[in-house]
Structure 1
Amino acid sequence: MTTLIDHLPNDADPDALFESFAGWAEERGISLYPAQEEALIEVVSGSNVILSTPTGSGKSLVAAGAHFAALARDQVTFYTAPIKALVSEKFFDLCKLFGTENVGMLTGDASVNADAPVICCTAEVLASIALRDGRDADIGQVVMDEFHFYAEPDRGWAWQVPLLELPQAQFVLMSATLGDVQRFEEDLHRRTGRPTTVVRSATRPVPLSYEYRTTSLTETLTELLDTHQAPVYIVHFTQAAAVERAQALMSINMCTRAEKDEIAKLIGNFRFTTRFGRNLSRYVRHGIGVHHAGMLPKYRRLVERLAQAGLLKVICGTDTLGVGVNVPIRTVLFTALTKYDGQRVRTLRAREFHQIAGRAGRAGFDTSGFVVAQAPEHVVENEKALAKAGDDPKKRRKVVRKKAPEGFVSWGQNTFEKLITSDPEPLTSRFRVTHTMLLSVIARPGNAFEAMRRLLEDNHEPRKNQIRHIRRAIAIYRSLLDGGVVERLPEPDEQGRIIRLTVDLQQDFALSQPLSTFALAAFDLLDPESPGYALDMVSVVESTLDDPRQILAAQQNKARGEAVQQMKADGVEYEERMERLQDVSYPKPLEEPLFHAYNLYRRSHPWVGDHPLSPKSVIRDMYERAMTFTEFTAFYELARTEGIVLRYLASAYKALEHTVPEDRKSAEFEDLTAWLGEMVRQVDSSLLDEWEQLANPEEETAEEAQERADQVRPVTTNTRAFRVLVRNALFRRVELAALEKYTELGEMDAGSGWDADAWAEAMERYWEEYDDLGTGPEARGPGLLRIEEDPEHGLWQVRQTFADPSGDHDWGISGEVDLAASDEESRAVVRVTAVGPL
């Protein structure tokens, strides 16, 4: 079967383009829906298209047709999506359609084949190009998928800017939940001069039916399973609720023995390496999936693969499933019609409801889809009580009706019916002005004042907001002028500029890590001879990264819990304890010197004010506590959000690799970086392997990549990183010994015969000689650890010396490292052989 690139006609005649594309689709057994035909005819004719059709109606095929038309016209075409994972997935899809030489990707922190005629990117990247180059940008076409993100409070500006700044481009805007788009239709026609067509279709390829249920969720689910309406996606509005539901449903027999055997066969040798993973293994083998953003990517992918194979009867997930996840679902079951949005509990918006409900019934899988809403629990219980009373009016009057919980935001069948019939709300403009915007516009040729005036006065904002944006732009411009970042020219230069930048943005400005240049400057504050130099380097880089809020909240809770215990032990009264607790937060290493340096740096680099500094300690905390990934997530009770922890660690690893110059890297820093990278790979290699595969997308098939991602490479392969794991494993014991936590030590070394009593007895003799045990930077330094490698016997002999207060260094822990067991368990397996004096 030929690829799409083989069907390119010799000329860009609209009829020839349409016939060629339709012929390719027919080869693949695809019959175009009427809405697809209409959209493609308009696209090949050069019109802008706003495609508002239901989920599962083939918008991706229209996007492929648009890229096909642009290639035939020898134009550069951009595809944008809201999240990097979807951009990456689309990149690989388009590589198969058009060939790897014709497709590139830009996500801010990854660039692959950036000069290709088809570019996949995030909306933020396209907005940056639009601001920098405007109508001079080499962009002939823009396909914006999931365009309803235009209304996202923090990110919507990036979906608006290309519409304002790329009048030369043809636009294809796509979403299942656009609402009224008349103003976009008129605005695009005015700006681009092209005809703009809205293609709508309320008819779904797979029709939906709706039902409101007052039975218990278990009864509802059992009936759906009995009537063959599975797979069922049960929608929750917290990750915790989704996991708790999966556990609660284990009592229902979901699958036959044969079906369970099929599940086990597909799972194969997949390794569930974390505590949540071991629970997930039980769920999926029972026919129940869990799917939410806090999971490790490899677990989410496994659930998706099992669902695509038709092996999962139920998936318990959150409302985040909607974007770009191809999971066949026959029934969507809402557990509620309200959600907490970070500020208050409110009823679902029509757009949110339709986005989730639209996942029911997928073309190619189902002939119909079902959307079911559960009544609130107190209503269900009242209905049960009334049913028990029967038709006797006296008995029914005696039924004591259960009241709604305190603070309950009321919803019911009327709410459900209203959501079904309501159109998605109109998209709201989220334009904003930043230093980055001004710098980009000033850097381009021409009169920057005229360009900014047009951008500020001819956007989609109401006039009141435009005035506010103008005032902010003036304030930012003055700060750039005062800081010497821009200067006025006495007369226009050869490119028509009347103001210009005095800095080189290419060197002094980073899209992926806007504070990376500050980090480079802050490294000068550190003493390379200091024992804590490597960890201080980590703290500088961590302060420039986005906050992982769940981790920081858990660290703060843990710190406050420990502070309360200490204050109680010290006899501090309740009121004073509560007052002192307000000052207890998560760890913020180097907070004072970093903020001092940041404020100085802002004077000459005012744009960094768009990106606040945020000192924090995640990697450093994990390293100083000598914890594994599993120990860290358990310590801070982050098992449900371990995917968020891993994504932070992976992004931090990339930042450490790319931000720190080679001449700044000490041996300990390189050890630490190797340890971090290996830890991420051992937990879930996909986050790092994906970027390596991007550079060579043809080297392996999707199946081969999936098989490789499911396999964990031996942890002993990277010797440098493994030595750090060994050091951390031993130092973890030193820390616990210093805190006299012998029970934990006993649990850790039960297999070595060193129970809590043995540890207590050994350390008692140490405390008779010394009154302290060091756990600072020097105590964990390489000078106090001896490793004798003996690969012939599959063992390393190790000795961790204690940092005693007298500096005698005559006590320590002796042990051996089992290399085979370490590979089996993806961690350093240390067996203690002695604790005592040399």
Structure 2
Amino acid sequence: MSLLRRLPSGPQSGTDPDALFDAFASWNADRGLTLYPAQEEALIEVVSGNNVIVSTPTGSGKSLIAAGAHFAALARDEISFYTAPIKALVSEKFFDLCALFGTENVGMMTGDATVNADAPVICCTAEILAQIALRDGADADVGTVIMDEFHFYAEPDRGWAWQVPLLELPQAQFVLMSATLGDVERFQTDLTRRTGRDTAVVKHAERPVPLIYSYRTTPLHETLEELLSTQQAPVYVVHFTQAAAMERAQALMSINMCTKAEKEAIAALIGNFRFTTRFGRALSRLVRHGIGVHHAGMLPKYRRLVERLAQAGLLKVICGTDTLGVGVNVPIRTVLFTALSKFDGTKVRRLRAREFHQIAGRAGRAGFDTVGYVVCQAPDHVIENERALAKIGDDPKRRRGYARKKPPEGFVGWSEDTFEKLQTAEPEPLTSRFKVSNAMLLSIINRPGDCFQAMKRLLTDNHEDRKAQRRHISHAIAIYRSLLAGGIVEKLAAPDEHGRMARLTVDLQEDFALNQALSTFALASFELLDRGSPTYALDMVSIIESTLDDPRQILHAQLNKARAEAVAQMKADGIEYEERMERLAEITHPMPLADLLFGAYETYRRGHPWVGDHVVSPKTIVRDMYERAMTFTEYIQFYELARSEGTVLRYLADAYRTLSKTVPEHLKTDDLVDLIEWLGELVRQVDSSLIDEWEKLANPAEALAAGQELETKIRPVTANARAFRVLVRNAMFRLVELAALDREEDLLELYPDVDWGAGLDAYYEEHDEILTGPAARGPALLLIEEEKELWRVRQIIDDPAGNHDWGVGAEVDLAASDEEGHAVLHVTGLTRL
């Protein structure tokens, strides 16, 4: 039954706490559920209009408290906001709340996707709510704020977004939730002072599923075998690098995880699921053996497959990283730590109490288990020494003579004592991460009232210490002076009709800080390009790519590849080592149009200062893949990105969405439309879930009715004829590129039945080189004869004389292409016309 039907009716019923609580509790009881004491306590405070800080263990039902807060806000005819740290969680919660309150009553805002923004219940990222708070302050139409995973308040780069709503929305009721908040007394006092509401703290709730801790000095495979034999599976084996997780999973293939019947059940659930990449084929072998892998670098469909298999109880072991600690609902009975130290990007250090509890809290899920287990492995060298000494026995002379294995260099160790202290340690106090930005000043200057007083209050009454506040004040003054000097802001001699003491001289774009910050810069930059240039379409792509977030793993791989190629060339040229090292330091990842983009950005920023918070970043990933005429799999293999497939796909999907939404129709040439269609089809054929999600958001009611499929039925790759022609053209041009580089071995690896050597020898007897410029890859040099079951194609080679008398012939198998999700060619050879 819809929760909305339980809204109390009658005079003042929406503000009667008892009526609200009874209505919500009875709805919950009708579902066969009983409220935990901590849930009851929190909900009583919520319906009474108080702020609530919920610091209860994982699995104790915080989501139900959030639903109760939305329910109470609806009864009071107020707008309620739910915030989460990542867009995927926002989207997931959006559909959950649609199921509870109806799609017409729930909206979503993530900065790059907005659905039903006028709804009374809004799901959004913390940054979106922070910008609304800065823009409208106490006048914002925000009645209730539910901030999930509130420990992100302490995140160095993003924590400001969790703090700003607390500072700027005194009219709102706050519900702050996390399993690992630590001491919250200062938040309790601060919220009461700012909002005038009492603030209740709900903590120390009894964990619905108690945890049992143990420390092991047996090798990991023996530990796992014991856990499996004592019915403590499924086991989540926690690693702190993606590489270690995959290596461990492969090493565990020697353990017999499942019975024959269980393996048959796994195969049945997998069904016709497509494992389309090299990593996917490795994962297929693992999951059929009862072993899962889970980390942020995987394709979304692979992560979802592992989660579904785990939810069905079919995976005995999942090797992954600590990403499972953020919002993924997978039933895990045992969490097994392989280490209690990790590299945090700067140094190797032991886990903090908050990190430990976030991960350990995933063990034992209500509704699945009566008890959960948390196991920690001793360091490998300690285990090896223990086993060696056990073999030696009690002979003191032999024990003294044993040369103990030492830890590796730079190792930060842990012990059973470390493990025990972490179990009882309170999470560290949350550290304020307030920061000042261009967008912050522009938002406050643009809203009604005295911006100087508003900014003074924000800078002197935040959660920072006095030293940090003085630093923020200096930074804010510097930004304000630059806005004055640039003519963006003018100070007024007397307040205007809105009480402003200063005002902007430019019109801010609507929701300027809520959407892609550099989208207007991209629109302005398009005008700098020559539409008649043969590289126009690719240059448009480069402008869009410069506005997207940097995918660190891909750029690092490109840099490594560029440096390796440069070293090889310098060695061939006889350049000495010292000079090679100097030159290598100057090499970066490829950055097309860098000079044009940096120059345009500086000019644009002077008139549009809010973009100063987001620096343009030239890069080439979409363009690189297109120019190299590579498939997704080839690109992953070329840059050795198997562990980052998901990162690559998310970037390509973001680029496709931004190209589709940002480039005006009148600027789209046929070449650019071809490229956009190709990119969309490439993403869809690899993993359609990201595009499917955008389509679901357009019609959430249909998405709810359809339910969750393991893998959306992929449309045939040949159905989009325009995109498929580009796929064929790229596949054929890839052969031309390899031929131009005289890469006969690579050609033979792709098509071993073709006599490439003879064809290349004959061609080079007549011509000096094979051209690969824009004209060489254009549609004019690809001849296609379309038939019902196959296409006959010929890629004409662009020779220096312009004779166009040689080419590569092939047949395109349409049925096989639909099966594989890319153009399947049967190449007939490199021949003269």
After TM superposition, the score normalised by the length of structure 1 is: 0.98
Pairwise CA distance, 1:733: 0.2
Q: Deviations over 1:469-524 (max 9, x none)?
A: 11111111111111121222332221111211122212593533211111111112
| Structure 1 gap ranges (5+) | none
CA distance in structure 2 between the partners assigned to 1:511 and 1:810 by the alignment:
55
Pairwise CA distance, 1:703: 5.6
CA distance in structure 2 between the partners assigned to 1:280 and 1:214 by the alignment:
29
Pairwise CA distance, 1:607: 2.3
- Which secondary structure does the structure 2 equivalent of 1:706 belong to? coil
Whether 2:215 is the aligned partner of 1:216: answer no
Whether 2:543 is the aligned partner of 1:540: answer yes
Letter in 2 for 1:822: S
* Corresponding residue of 2:561: 558
Whether 2:59 is the aligned partner of 1:62: answer no
Pairwise CA distance, 1:202: 4.5
Q: Deviations over 1:337-362 (max 9, x none)?
A: 00100000001000000000000011
* Corresponding residue of 1:524: 527
* Corresponding residue of 1:140: 143
Letter in 2 for 1:539: S
Matches within 5 A, 1:561-600: 561-600=564-603
- Which secondary structure does the structure 2 equivalent of 1:290 belong to? strand
Pairwise CA distance, 1:702: 6.4
CA distance in structure 1 between the partners assigned to 2:782 and 2:408 by the alignment:
58
| Structure 1 contact 510–516 (Cα < 8 Å) conserved | no
Whether 2:107 is the aligned partner of 1:112: answer no
- Which secondary structure does the structure 2 equivalent of 1:23 belong to? helix
Pairwise CA distance, 1:711: 2.6
CA distance in structure 2 between the partners assigned to 1:406 and 1:358 by the alignment:
31
Aligned with residue 769 of structure 2, among 769, 772, 790: 772
Q: Deviations over 1:5-35 (max 9, x none)?
A: 1111111210011111110111111111110
| Structure 1 contact 50–196 (Cα < 8 Å) conserved | yes
In structure 2, do the counterparts of structure 1 residues 782 and 482 end up closer, same or farther at CA, with 3 Å as the change threshold? Answer: same
Letter in 2 for 1:662: E
CA distance in structure 2 between the partners assigned to 1:183 and 1:692 by the alignment:
43
CA distance in structure 1 between the partners assigned to 2:512 and 2:92 by the alignment:
28
- Which secondary structure does the structure 2 equivalent of 1:614 belong to? coil
* Corresponding residue of 1:806: 801
Whether 2:418 is the aligned partner of 1:415: answer yes
| Structure 1 contact 164–455 (Cα < 8 Å) conserved | yes
Letter in 1 for 2:729: R
| Structure 2 contact 737–772 (Cα < 8 Å) conserved | yes
- Which secondary structure does the structure 2 equivalent of 1:212 belong to? strand
Whether 2:196 is the aligned partner of 1:193: answer yes
Letter in 2 for 1:147: F
Letter in 2 for 1:70: A
Matches within 5 A, 1:54-203: 54-203=57-206
Pairwise CA distance, 1:398: 2.2
Deviates more, 1:282-291 or 1:515-524: 515-524
| Structure 1 contact 105–113 (Cα < 8 Å) conserved | yes
CA distance in structure 1 between the partners assigned to 2:240 and 2:571 by the alignment:
37
- Which secondary structure does the structure 1 equivalent of 2:500 belong to? coil
Q: Deviations over 1:698-753 (max 9, x none)?
A: 1144664415x343221111111111100000000000000111111112123xx3
| Structure 2 contact 99–704 (Cα < 8 Å) conserved | no
CA distance in structure 1 between the partners assigned to 2:45 and 2:820 by the alignment:
57
In structure 2, do the counterparts of structure 1 residues 359 and 702 end up closer, same or farther at CA, with 3 Å as the change threshold? Answer: farther
Whether 2:831 is the aligned partner of 1:836: answer yes
Matches within 5 A, 1:687-726: 687-701=690-704, 704-707=707-710, 709-726=711-728
* Corresponding residue of 2:810: 815
| Structure 1 contact 80–126 (Cα < 8 Å) conserved | yes
CA distance in structure 1 between the partners assigned to 2:735 and 2:363 by the alignment:
52
Letter in 2 for 1:814: G
Whether 2:7 is the aligned partner of 1:4: answer no
Aligned with residue 231 of structure 1, among 234, 245, 263: 234
- Which secondary structure does the structure 2 equivalent of 1:699 belong to? helix
Whether 2:787 is the aligned partner of 1:797: answer no
Pairwise CA distance, 1:266: 0.6
Matches within 5 A, 1:324-403: 324-403=327-406
Pairwise CA distance, 1:788: 2.0
CA distance in structure 1 between the partners assigned to 2:767 and 2:579 by the alignment:
36
Matches within 5 A, 1:656-667: 656-667=659-670
| Structure 1 contact 108–512 (Cα < 8 Å) conserved | yes
| Structure 1 contact 483–605 (Cα < 8 Å) conserved | no
CA distance in structure 2 between the partners assigned to 1:423 and 1:703 by the alignment:
43
Letter in 2 for 1:815: A
| Structure 2 gap ranges (5+) | none
Whether 2:423 is the aligned partner of 1:426: answer no
Whether 2:677 is the aligned partner of 1:678: answer no
| Structure 2 contact 790–814 (Cα < 8 Å) conserved | yes
Whether 2:827 is the aligned partner of 1:825: answer no
* Corresponding residue of 1:441: 444
Whether 2:629 is the aligned partner of 1:626: answer yes
CA distance in structure 2 between the partners assigned to 1:149 and 1:652 by the alignment:
27
Letter in 1 for 2:355: E
- Which secondary structure does the structure 1 equivalent of 2:517 belong to? coil
| Structure 1 contact 298–710 (Cα < 8 Å) conserved | no
CA distance in structure 2 between the partners assigned to 1:510 and 1:352 by the alignment:
31
CA distance in structure 2 between the partners assigned to 1:510 and 1:787 by the alignment:
47
Whether 2:612 is the aligned partner of 1:615: answer no
* Corresponding residue of 1:287: 290
Deviation above 6 Å: which 4+ runs of structure 1?
A: none
Q: Deviations over 1:649-668 (max 9, x none)?
A: 00111111111111111110
CA distance in structure 1 between the partners assigned to 2:43 and 2:277 by the alignment:
47
Matches within 5 A, 1:30-41: 30-41=33-44
Pairwise CA distance, 1:601: 1.6
% identical aligned pairs: 73
After TM superposition, the score normalised by the length of structure 2 is: 0.98
Q: Deviations over 1:32-72 (max 9, x none)?
A: 11100000000000000000000000000000011111111
| Structure 2 contact 95–704 (Cα < 8 Å) conserved | no
- Which secondary structure does the structure 2 equivalent of 1:178 belong to? coil
CA distance in structure 2 between the partners assigned to 1:78 and 1:606 by the alignment:
29
- Which secondary structure does the structure 2 equivalent of 1:505 belong to? coil
Between Structure 1 and Structure 2, how many residues are aligned?
829
| Structure 2 contact 41–202 (Cα < 8 Å) conserved | yes
CA distance in structure 1 between the partners assigned to 2:713 and 2:577 by the alignment:
52
| Structure 2 contact 562–589 (Cα < 8 Å) conserved | yes
Q: Deviations over 1:67-122 (max 9, x none)?
A: 11111111100000000000000000000100111111011111111101000000
* Corresponding residue of 1:744: 746
| Structure 2 contact 131–513 (Cα < 8 Å) conserved | no
Pairwise CA distance, 1:606: 2.3
* Corresponding residue of 1:763: 760
- Which secondary structure does the structure 1 equivalent of 2:829 belong to? strand
| Structure 1 contact 508–517 (Cα < 8 Å) conserved | no
- Which secondary structure does the structure 1 equivalent of 2:719 belong to? coil
CA distance in structure 2 between the partners assigned to 1:524 and 1:3 by the alignment:
51
Pairwise CA distance, 1:602: 1.8
CA distance in structure 2 between the partners assigned to 1:343 and 1:777 by the alignment:
43
CA distance in structure 2 between the partners assigned to 1:817 and 1:408 by the alignment:
55
Q: Deviations over 1:223-275 (max 9, x none)?
A: 00011100000000000000000000000000000000111111111111111
CA distance in structure 2 between the partners assigned to 1:165 and 1:437 by the alignment:
12
Pairwise CA distance, 1:391: 2.1
* Corresponding residue of 2:317: 314
Letter in 1 for 2:91: S
CA distance in structure 2 between the partners assigned to 1:797 and 1:146 by the alignment:
56
Pairwise CA distance, 1:447: 0.9
CA distance in structure 2 between the partners assigned to 1:829 and 1:61 by the alignment:
50
